[in-house]
Amino acid sequence: MKVTVDRFEGEIAVLLVRPEETQQILFPRELLPGVEEGDILEITATREIRETEEARARVSSLIEKLRQKGT
């Protein structure tokens, strides 16, 4: 997905999804070093299946421990 850096509001970068530029994404400015207003960026997302499964297992384990304490 391509976005245009519209502006910075304090520590937040306001990105507009191209080409229509009607949808906004608010993004931490600190994660965009060297980026300026008007720059066009390519953003990609990759689903981390293994890490997701590990995180779900940790949360399930914690929930089970809490349930056992409550009984």
Q: Residues 34-69: pLDDT tens digits?
A: 999 999 999 999 999 999 999 999 999 999 999 998
Structure tokens given for 67: 């349930």
Q: What is the dihedral of CA 37, 9, 31, 6, to 10 degrees?
A: -30
Tell me the one-letter amino acid at 16.
L
Sheet-wide strand order for 40-42 = 24-28, 12-17, 2-9, 40-42
pTM of the model: 0.75
In which band, very low, low, confident or very high, does the pLDDT at 25 lie, cut at 50, 70 and 90?
very high
